[in-house]
Every structure is written in structure tokens, then in C-alpha cells.
Structure 1
Amino acid sequence: MSQELYFNIITFDLPDKPITFYLSKEKIGNAQKLYKTKFPTNIEDLFPGIKEENPDFIYTSFIYEKEGYLPLKLNLKEQPTDLIKHYYNWRIKKFFKSIKKLVGQNFVNDNQIWIGNRSYQNKSFAQYYKFTVKVQIKEVSEYGELVISYDGMAKVFKKPISEIIKHTSTTNLNKVVYKMRLLKYHKEKEFIDDNTMAYAILNNDLRTAFNIQPEPKDDSNKYISYKHKIDKFIQHFILSEEFKKVIPVNNDDYLPVEINRIGEVADESNDLVFQNGVGRNPKIDFKNLKPLNPCQLDNVHFFFIYHTSYAKEVEALQKLLEDGTSWYKGLNIYAGVLAHFDNNVNIIFDDLENPLPQISQGIKDFKSDPNINYVAIYLSPFNKHEPNLEKKLVYYKVKEQLLYKRIISQVIEFDRFRRNQHKFIYDLTNISLALLAKLDGTPWQLNVKPKNELVIGVGAFKNTEENIRYVASAFSFKNNGRFNEFHYFSKSDVKQLGGALSDAIYQYVPTNQIPEKIVIHFYKDMKDEEIQPVLEMMDKLQLPCPLFVLNINKTKSQDIIAFDQNWNGELIPMSGTYINIGPKGEYKYLLFNNLRYNNTVKYPSHSSYSFPIKLKISSPTPEALNDSKMIRKLIEQVYQFSRLYWKSLRQQNVPITIKYPEMVAEIAPRFESKEIPPFGQETLWFL
């Protein structure tokens, strides 16, 4: 059954006739500020010599006559894309404001429209659905394009902030609704004249302060629910006659994906090698086909770190790991980890509120045998949503202290185990998988022939408490997905990052000779100053091989996706499908990675319905991008590397070259030393 793919895009016509904008060099009253990259192409007709003057900004009231602003006729189709987008974004915002809708902006200035959910009944909150209307110009068609996306739900307190601060500090406020405006409370407080009319938007800090539980996780098909919501939004607003007067929509249907934009990875890219054969779905095949390489380490000893009151649960957990339950037959049979539980070295604490001093002392006093490989199972009294930062940090400090003792650890939330013992089997499978990987086993591997190529992954994690982005690099992935070591940077230091990238190449070449190609998977667009040290090192080592940089982003819901209208109504495109979403000369793609294959009749239940990731491929030698076979190979490699995630049996859509460094960058900054102990640079301790 062939796919019928559609973008979440509604197209509109750009005007054929000239229109008149009103412009001024000075800001007079309310106006839109235009940066010089947005200046009209014929701006010299209005302001002779302005290009030589080179001001950073001019101002416009766009199509409205205004005192002090001069008219300029222009053909919109011939103007800078950024100017056209600015103009249409301005018109869209004005339209939704005129019909009394809340309008905010995302970080790239696309309009986000908040639509109240009238059917939501709650005495404390009003609920809003958030939709983004992103303007594109001739990206995937010959028209203007509106990318319509659903960004999730927001809740707004019904009591004003003047009331809720009786119960919590204003430090917990972030965004508020004030007189039909979305404002950042701490940055835009000057616009709030009356606190009895300002209403806080629920955020994580307020959720904690008022002890409000997170929304339950929804494992249903999000393609269906997502499309249902944008269908209603489009029908009600975008296709209305009033909106069409503002934006001349030219088709009431979603934009079909042109066939020449669609590609598919090779079918064998889905293959994973296990001990007893080739499979595709680790959830099934890890149990049936057995791990490729069981734990190779000698003398593996497990011990527990737990509170005195947890003794009964520790005993039950040990029995599950040793003997298993139902179809899970224990660590050894299920995951190939032969281990002895040494309860003589358990670390037991009695202070539930402040366990760290006793745990730290226990680790410090731990007498390890150099012939034994130790694994600590820490039953944590605190869960991942713990609001108290000191308690939350215990997890990280215990991990760090154990690493300095060359001890691998696995943390299990005590409450989760206690509540779910009867159905803990699914947790046990993921725990066993992660433990095998941490103990240098190989759960499964890509079914590829070894090649001499170097893949470097750079990921990042933003710590919202500190508002600092931490960067980590996973170096020297081989083409089968095995890694050599990790490096970590305490901050996004361009010089340090560039040095580490070039050092990875320097370390690789003497052992492996000249690679066929060097590939960098980067979590964002790579700047010139970040890539320059790499080029200098390649020049120094006289490497003739091409260098490719792949910017890999998890697709945000505010962005372009695609649906398949021809598959059982489930809408999810086939795994391995990639779509060119860039204009000519740009190598930008959507890549779908899920569990729908050629022969899949129905999507597996309890599986993730991942949205696609976005790729952008570039090279310092642009001619290298002319090789369409190479482009496909690079996309296939991203696809395959996403199938090597060993923390969970659940299918992921992000390659480990990005995901693993991101995990390191989330944990390592919490370490007291701010560094990863040497032992941790050679193992997958963070899984």
C-alpha cells in the first residue's frame, strides 16, 4: 500500500499587484522595527543613499498610512523572505487579536494562538489549546505556506496573582495573562497596572507549590489527536471568510508532499543483530533472540543501598533479579548478566530526609576487591519529580561517588517499586538491558559491514534552574554504533568544544588510518568558529576525506510534520521515510523513525508514536553534497543510530550520537567535581 503524505500546511497566494508599505527612518509612535536584512529591495527609491548609510533598523506601519511615514510601492514576491514573513506574521497577529484571542510568540517569533476550551470544567483553572501558525515562503511549494501545529495545552489560574501569592512566592511566577495579553511576569511587570486582573499560567514551580500532579502520560496515537485538533482550528479560523480576506488561502486541503521529495532508507537499515539471529523490534527480539554479547566481565557482584525500612522490598527485588517472574527469567537468562548478590557489603541508611551523609560514608568506607566488578542498586527515597533540590541532588552525588570507586550504579525509585511490584516486569526488562550495556555487554548491533569512518556526536541539555546549556560530546562512534569514549564540557565553550572535536580526529587517525569520511552529528547549526578547529586538524593530518555536518533536531510540535492518509486511519508515515523540506540547494529533511514497516498491518500497541526528527546536512566542501547516494547514506546512518538506544526497549527517534551526550550533559553538571571520573568516560554509566 503506497503512502499518501500530506504536510500540516495550508497554502496561500502572494499578491501579483504591487502593494504600498509606509516607512520611516525614525520610530514615530507604534511601529514595526525592520532589521537591515528585511529592508525592501527598492528601499533606495524612498531613501536614497540608505545602503551606504547602513543603519541597523528602519520602521514601518506596513499597509497603514501614518503621519511621518512615507509610502513605497513594492512587489511583495521580489522582497526578502524575512520581510514577507514579518508582514504576514503581523497581519495574522492583528487578525486573531481582533477576534479577542490570546496571541503569544514562540522563540522564533511565530504567532502562537491560545483557544479556550469551553468544555473544560474546573473551579481552579481555565484551559487553553495552543496552536502555532508559522509563515513560510516557497519552502515546499510555489506559494506562501502556513504551517499549522498544535503545541499542547495550558492552564490558567482563575484566581488572580493577588490571591495566589497568599499561598506561594512570586518567584514561582513565569507567564501571566493580563488584559488579553500574554506577558512574562518578571520581564514585563511594568505593563501590569492591576494585579487583581493578572492571572498566572500554571508552570512546574506553581505545580509543585500547590501540589498539583502532572498530567497523566498519554500513550495513544498522537498523530490522530494532533491532526484532530489542527483540523478543527483550521476549519474554524484559517478557512473562515474573515481570515481569507487577510491571508488569501488558495486551497482548503493540506498540501500534498510531492513524490520527488520523498525517499526511503534501505529496508535492511531496520535490521538489528542479536545472538540468535536478526530482528527489528527489541521489545520482542531481545527476549527471543538473546543479547548479542552477554556481559564479558568476570566476577560481577551486586549490592544494595537502601533505607532500613526497605529490607523486605530489597529481598523481593533481589529475588526478581535472580529468579525472574513470568516470562522475565532473571538477569542471567534474560540479559546475559551472571551476577552474585553480596549482601555483606550493602550500604544501609536510617535517615530518610537526609540520606547522603550516611551513603557517602558507606561508599568512602567501601572495601573493594580489585578482582570484582561491583554494581550498586540504589533504592532512592526520592522520585524524579522531587521538588526539594537538595533531595534531588542526592541521586547525582551518589552516582558520582560510586564512579570514583569504579562502581556502576542503577537507581530505582523505592515508591515506584513498592507500588508496582506486581507489574514491575516491564521495569525489570529495561533495568536489565541498561545493566548489560553498563557492564560492557552488547544488547544488539547494527547489521552493517564495518567501515573506516569516524562519527562524532555532540548533544546538549539546558538546565532550567541555572539557565545554562551544558554540552557533552560522544566521540569516536564506529559505523556499527559502538563508541570509544565521552568528553564533557561544563559550559558551551566554543574553544573547548572545537579543541575536543579536533582531538577526537587526532586520536582516531593513528589507530584507524585515514577515514573514508568524518561525520559530525550536532544538536544545532554548527558555527564557523566551532568547525574551524576541525578543518585545521584535518589539514594538519592531510586528510583528503570529506567532512559532513548534520544538524539534528527533535522536531518540536510547532514545526512541520507529515501524515499518511492511506494507512488504516493511523496517519503515521512508514518508518525510514524521509522528506526533503528545504528549497532548492538546501539539504533539509524530516526523518520518520517508528515501528511501522512495509509488512506492518497494525501499529504495535503500547509503542511510541514518535514525531519525525529534522536533519540539515552541510559540508565545508559543498560539492560533496552533490552525491545523492552519500546523502542517503548519511540519513540512513542517523536512522540506524537511533535504534541503538540501550536504556529502554522502547523505540526512539533520536540517534544515540545526540541522545547519549544529552544524557551526560544533564547529569554531569550536577557532579560536585563538575567532571566525569575517568572510569565514567569509558562506560555507559548514565543509562
Structure 2
Amino acid sequence: MQQDLLLNIIPFNPPAGKQTFAFYRQKQPGYYPVFKGDLQGLLDDKFSALELLELEKLYTDFQPPREGAILLDIDLSVSTRFANHYYRYLIRKHFEGIADIMHQDFTSETEVWFHSPEKSTAKYKVYNQFTLKVQYGRVTDKPELVLSYDGTTKVFAKPVSEIYNFNTNLYNWIVCNGVIYKWKFRPQEVINQPQNCYPILSNELKPHLEIAFDVPDLKNRYPKYLDILQDFYSKYLNTPAFCKIIPITEEGFYRPKAEQYRVINSSSNDLLYAGGKTGKEPKKDFKSKGPYQLPQKPSNFKFFFIYQQSDKPTAVTELYRYLHSGWKDDRFPFPKMQDYIKVPFELDISKNVEFDTVENAVASVRNAVKNADWQPDTQYMALFVNPVPKLEKDEGKKNIYYKIKEILLYEGVLSQVIKSEHLYKNGKPNSFFNTFLPHIEIAMLAKLGGVPWRLNRPTNNELIVGVGAFYSVTRKSRFVGSAFCFNNEGIFKGFDCFKGDDTISLAGSIREAVAEFIAVNYTASRLVIHFYKDIGKKELEPILRTLHTLGLNIPVIVVTINKTESKELLGFDVSDAENLMPYSGTIVKVGKSEYLLFNNTRYDATSKPAQKEYHFPVKIALSSTVEGMLDDMNLVEQLIDQVYQFSRMYWKSTNQQNLPVTIKYPEMVAEICPYFQHDKLPDFGKESLWFL
């Protein structure tokens, strides 16, 4: 498959020869810190050995020398880490007075915001947000400028001085005189001018200032983003003034060479269904091909409803009808549940739980579950028709979802939750509910222990650990979920959840998984960990100690998978001028051990992805405890191929995902567990997909 890739990276030429820069021991206002490691080899004749040992950093303002300056002659093509500081400084100085708002992000890169009058209203101003990142030799042998479009941000039209009787704890970031400040840490000169401080509208802040949430745009973003990036390039970068300080190459955005990218073998898209039938897209294939494997144990499955009394004649009746008899429609019919997922829909009415108000829902469920006569050799699943609307502001009402889920889970009862407003609204049934049914029933099958589909690969026994995370706003802390896979079929077990800083428990759960794996397979050649962020020494050391106690001296490969789509680094297939999205399975090398993986439904030239399937790439970084191991590109492709395939094992929906379930499933566990009263999951919760 031919494609012509374009990256949002612009190479530029470093100035020839050496330049003199002035540095100082003491920090002054407006000075930039430069760590001694960024000046390697330049300080030996300026300091004694003892002084160098004690020295942490120097400071510079990039201006002509003043009294007490330490002068260094620096070749920017050699001292590339210092050069990056200098280029960032030049870019910031250039955009002062050009950008409407400027900000230096946490990685010291430059954000520039430009006002968009046509999108603004009397209540708020809208700004287009860009980041200019400097890097050296990631995809070329030159310094590089990464231009990323970060979307739009809204700034409230009134300053804080005109917002009365307001909880100021809700402010996070503000704009003052074209500069962004954190509300908690704004300097005194900003505190002194509240009339010039405008709140940036976060999602937490919007409802309190009567600003509607943004409606997500599900259309293909590739053409829009490329147009915006090219427009910025023409207006602000490809100009004499900018090229004088940052001499960008004439070609502009970089086109990677053929050896810098590859496409995963198309067989990695293949999925297995019933009777060995194969297909690529579950949303098209599952209905005709059927589930790969039905639940094996127990022998019987029974269902019951949990609902508010007022929903019984409407939402509950409709849901029962759809599952029992299917969706009757001339154009878009949908089969009954037993015909779709091949599991009989056997209702046990005696277990139904009816409550009259949301306030007593939890108590009603707790009493009913405690007194229920559960049949042996039977797995029960509750169908909870949740009366609490999606936009409910009352946290107590919203949390009945978690409380009821917890009660059922600790009783060994599975649950499937459907909001009543999705079934019945404004006095009539939802005429589009047939689009919900495939996702709901696939999730039900997976929770019951069935396998809707699996990867069409020869079984390869390898232990893969997935670690995902979720930040709980209510608990103000991060929770980490883990999951284990014992082969490349994508079947998971051993789910658990820990506090974000509890690295010992995480390592302990990995020890148990490794021991179980070895008991079955006698040996393990390596341990692959899919991690939600760059893994640090603090997280890795307990895992290595765990392997040591088991007597295993095996390589540990960490595959870091950013859980948010990459907008910072993008690629476009300009040979497809209309849609611009690279083929699914395209891997682009964007650093020493960093890659972009395009994961979508553009499998070949005839593919027609739905609008919401134009996914941006996932950024992947690889590291290993064995030096040089990742120089083998075949191994690298195998590891990324694994990520790619595991994204196809998502059973909460038939829609294609761009994140692998190794990250997605643990994250889902970590999102729910903080709301539970119990500190630990029951064994039943560790072995089933109850969280889908």
C-alpha cells in the first residue's frame, strides 16, 4: 500500500561555528536555569573539580555579558541540549507582541494562543492554541521544530473583579495581560490587578458560570488540523523575521523516508469468530459470524431487572422487549439476544428489585440481594435501568451506580447498566436504541465469560501485564489498575486496583501472575509490561525484586502507551488528499525508541471508515532492562504489533478502539474502584469483566 507521509515536524539548520554566551552563578529576575549536564565539556577550565562537583546549574538571560559573567564559546550543533534552551528563548521573544496569549508549559515549550473572533461570544473569548516544541535529531540529523495544534480554549469575558459571591477555589488558570498563571501561585503583581485577570474555563468551572460544555466533534479531524497547521506555518513561521532566528528548511513539514516507517502485516487485523470464521470489523461481522466461544461455566444463566417503579411500564418494558424479541424495524431490525450472542434470555422475575425513589434505591438492592435465594450452578446478571440522567449534578444520586454495582459484585452477581433516558424519553421510546443493542449485548456476553471474538494468531504463551490509571477527582488521587494476559489471544484475568503510589502491591500482584504463569508453562522468556506512562525507578525496582525472589533473571520490556491520542505528533497521508489519515498499522519512528502507531479502520484503499473512526495516532515508547535488545527492529515491530492487536479485543463495544485493552481495561477498573467501600476486590471481581 503506497502512502506519502507528512509529519508536523519542521527541521531547521543550526548556525555555523561558535557563539559566546554569558552565564552567572546567581539567579536574577528573567534569568533561565541551565543544568551543568547541558553544558558538558564546557566548564572544566572555568571551575575546579570540587566546584564542579558542587555545581548544580548556572543562569543566563542570553544577553551581552555583564559584571561577573562566565563566558562560554558554544557550538550549537554540538551542545544540542543547551541549543534547545536558546532556540526556545528565541521563539518566545519572537512571539511576544504577535501572539495574544503566551505560556511556557511544564516541559518549558512555548504555547501561543490566537484570538478567534468568529467563535467568541459576549460571555467568553475563544482562542486557537498551538505549541512550538524544540527537539534535536529525533527524525532527522538537525534540530527540529514540532508545531502542534492543541484545539481551542475559552476564556471568560469578565475579570475576576466582576464575578461576585463566587467560590474562588474553582479557579485553576487565569489570563493576565496576555500571560497565563496558575491561580494558586500567581505572583503579587498579578494579585494586585484582579481587574485584568480572566478565568480560563475548565469543565469544572463552566457550569458555575453558566457556560455549556463543548459538544465533541466526531468528524474526521485530519483535514482540519493540516489546514490549521499549514496556515500557521505560512503566517508565522515561513517569514523572513522568523527564518532569521530559526532558519527552517525550504521543504517545511518533514516527509519521512521509506525506512523510517512500516505497516504492520494485514493479517494482524484478522479476528476469529464462531467455527473458525474470520473477519476484520466486529460491527460488520459479529452478527453473521457469531461468538467465538460461549460461556463454559456455570451451566445456567439467569437475568433480573433493577428499576425505579415509574420506569417499569416504559423503559423496563422496552428493554425486555428488545432483549426477548429483538428490534422490529423494516429498515434496521436487530435480532433477539439469544440469536445475537447465543445465550438464552432467561428471566427470573422473583429476583427483580423495584424501588420508588432514587434515594432508597441502594437500600432496596442491598436488602433484596441479602435475602435472595440464589440457585446453585447459576450465574445471575442484573439489568439495572438507571433513572439518574447523564447530566445530573447531585453527586449522591450519580453515585448509586457505583454503590449498586459494588453490592452486586461482592455477592457474585454481574450487572449491566442502561440509563432509562436512553430507552425512553419525552414520553416515547428512543427510536435509535437499536444502535445501543450490539454494544450492550457484546458486553453482556463477555461479562458472562464468553469470548465474542479472538485474535487469529497461533497461540504464543507470553506473560503480558497491563497497567492503566485513572485520576479520581472526588478522592483527589490517582488509582492504578492492573490486568494480566497469559498468551497472545487477548484473554485477560487477574484484575486489581491500587492507590497510585502503592508500588509494592502492584509488584505483589505481578509476582502472583508470574508464579501462576510458570506453574502452567514451566518457564518465562521475558516479561512484557504495557504501562500508562513512562515507568520510573520507583515502579520498576519492586518488580525486578519480585522476579529475583522467584529466581528469574529474565528481560523486562516496558511498552509505554500514552492513553490520550497524540496531537503533539501527527502524520498525514497526503496521497489521500481528501481524508489524509495514514493506513491502519502504520508505525513511524519519531525518536530513539519512540513510535507513532496509527490504529484505525483504514485497512486498504477500499476502506471507508466512519467519521468517528478517524483516530489520531497512539504514541508508544519502548525500554528494556537488557541493553541493545530493542535494536532488533523485528522485535520492536512484534511488540508494537501486540499493542495493535490488543486494541481489537475491546468487548464493551463493536466499535474499533485505538488503545489496547492492556491499558483500557485496567483504567476502567481504576475508574470505578475508588467509589467502592471495600478496600479490595473480591476474587470474583478479579476474574471477570464485570466493569465493561
Which range, TM-score by smaller chain?
Answer: over 0.9
Aligned residue identity for 2:590? I
- Of stretches 264-273 and 512-521 in structure 1, the one that deviates more from structure 2 is 512-521
Contact 2:461 2:486 survives alignment (8 Å): no
1:654 corresponds, among 652, 659, 668, to: 659
Structure 2 vs 1, CA of residues 41 and 550 (structure 1 numbering), >3 Å: closer, same or farther? same
- Of stretches 282-291 and 417-426 in structure 1, the one that deviates more from structure 2 is 417-426
Aligned residue identity for 1:288? S
Aligned residue identity for 1:271? D
Q: Any unmatched runs of 5+ in structure 2?
A: none
Please list, as runs of the form range in 1=range in 2, the aligned pairs for 1:174-185 lying within 5 A after superposition.
Answer: 174-185=172-183
Aligned residue identity for 1:169? N
Please list, as runs of the form range in 1=range in 2, the aligned pairs for 1:219-368 lying within 5 A after superposition.
Answer: 219-276=218-275, 277-296=277-296, 297-311=298-312, 312-325=314-327, 326-352=332-358, 355-368=361-374
1:188 corresponds, among 181, 186, 189, to: 186
Runs of 4+ more than 6 Å apart: none
Contact 2:264 2:586 survives alignment (8 Å): yes
d(CA) in 2 for partners of 1:464, 1:105: 25
Please list, as runs of the form range in 1=range in 2, the aligned pairs for 1:442-453 lying within 5 A after superposition.
Answer: 442-453=451-462
Contact 1:239 1:252 survives alignment (8 Å): no
Tell me what 1:60 maps to: 60
Q: Deviations over 1:647-667 (max 9, x none)?
A: 111111111111111111111
SS in structure 1 of the partner of residue 616 of structure 2: coil
Structure 2 vs 1, CA of residues 546 and 34 (structure 1 numbering), >3 Å: closer, same or farther? closer
Structure 2 vs 1, CA of residues 136 and 39 (structure 1 numbering), >3 Å: closer, same or farther? same
Aligned residue identity for 2:674? P
SS in structure 1 of the partner of residue 654 of structure 2: coil
Structure 2 vs 1, CA of residues 532 and 490 (structure 1 numbering), >3 Å: closer, same or farther? closer
Please list, as runs of the form range in 1=range in 2, the aligned pairs for 1:43-442 lying within 5 A after superposition.
Answer: 43-49=43-49, 52-81=52-81, 83-166=82-165, 168-188=166-186, 190=188, 191-276=190-275, 277-296=277-296, 297-311=298-312, 312-325=314-327, 326-352=332-358, 355-419=361-425, 421-442=430-451
Structure 2 vs 1, CA of residues 124 and 425 (structure 1 numbering), >3 Å: closer, same or farther? same
2:572 corresponds, among 558, 563, 570, to: 563
Residue 534 of structure 1, CA deviation? 3.7
Q: Deviations over 1:478-521 (max 9, x none)?
A: 21111232122133322222232233212210122113432111
Residue 32 of structure 1, CA deviation? 0.8
1:645 corresponds, among 636, 646, 650, to: 650
d(CA) in 1 for partners of 2:643, 2:459: 16
Aligned residue identity for 1:262? Y
SS in structure 2 of the partner of residue 134 of structure 1: strand
Identity of counterpart residues, as a percentage?
A: 36
Structure 2 vs 1, CA of residues 568 and 120 (structure 1 numbering), >3 Å: closer, same or farther? closer
SS in structure 2 of the partner of residue 499 of structure 1: helix
Structure 2 vs 1, CA of residues 37 and 397 (structure 1 numbering), >3 Å: closer, same or farther? farther
Please list, as runs of the form range in 1=range in 2, the aligned pairs for 1:623-638 lying within 5 A after superposition.
Answer: 623-638=628-643
Residue 271 of structure 1, CA deviation? 0.4
Structure 2 vs 1, CA of residues 503 and 158 (structure 1 numbering), >3 Å: closer, same or farther? same
Structure 2 vs 1, CA of residues 606 and 561 (structure 1 numbering), >3 Å: closer, same or farther? closer
Tell me what 2:485 maps to: 476
Q: Deviations over 1:377-429 (max 9, x none)?
A: 11223345543332232211111111011111111122232236110111111
- Of stretches 282-291 and 542-551 in structure 1, the one that deviates more from structure 2 is 542-551
Q: Deviations over 1:544-589 (max 9, x none)?
A: 654322112235544212111112421111111111112xxx3221
Tell me what 1:33 maps to: 33
SS in structure 1 of the partner of residue 319 of structure 2: helix
Residue 298 of structure 1, CA deviation? 3.0
Contact 1:375 1:408 survives alignment (8 Å): yes
Tell me what 1:498 maps to: 507
Residue 177 of structure 1, CA deviation? 1.0
Contact 2:533 2:562 survives alignment (8 Å): yes
Structure 2 vs 1, CA of residues 268 and 544 (structure 1 numbering), >3 Å: closer, same or farther? farther
d(CA) in 1 for partners of 2:390, 2:522: 45
1:663 corresponds, among 654, 668, 672, to: 668
Tell me what 1:16 maps to: 16
SS in structure 2 of the partner of residue 237 of structure 1: helix
SS in structure 1 of the partner of residue 401 of structure 2: helix
d(CA) in 1 for partners of 2:652, 2:583: 24
RMSD: 2.1
Residue 101 of structure 1, CA deviation? 2.6
d(CA) in 1 for partners of 2:628, 2:183: 50
Q: Structure 2 length normalisation: TM-score?
A: 0.94
Contact 2:126 2:153 survives alignment (8 Å): yes
Residue 248 of structure 1, CA deviation? 1.6
Tell me what 1:513 maps to: 522
Aligned residue identity for 2:318? A
d(CA) in 2 for partners of 1:105, 1:382: 42
Q: Deviations over 1:36-61 (max 9, x none)?
A: 33235312344454753422221111
d(CA) in 1 for partners of 2:5, 2:647: 23
Tell me what 1:522 maps to: 531
SS in structure 2 of the partner of residue 422 of structure 1: coil
2:685 corresponds, among 655, 680, 683, to: 680
Q: Deviations over 1:583-604 (max 9, x none)?
A: xxx3221111110113x32532
Residue 539 of structure 1, CA deviation? 4.3
SS in structure 2 of the partner of residue 84 of structure 1: helix
Structure 2 vs 1, CA of residues 86 and 183 (structure 1 numbering), >3 Å: closer, same or farther? same
Q: Any unmatched runs of 5+ in structure 1?
A: none
Residue 301 of structure 1, CA deviation? 1.7
SS in structure 1 of the partner of residue 185 of structure 2: coil
**What is the number of equivalent residue pairs in this alignment?**
681
d(CA) in 2 for partners of 1:68, 1:388: 62
SS in structure 2 of the partner of residue 660 of structure 1: helix
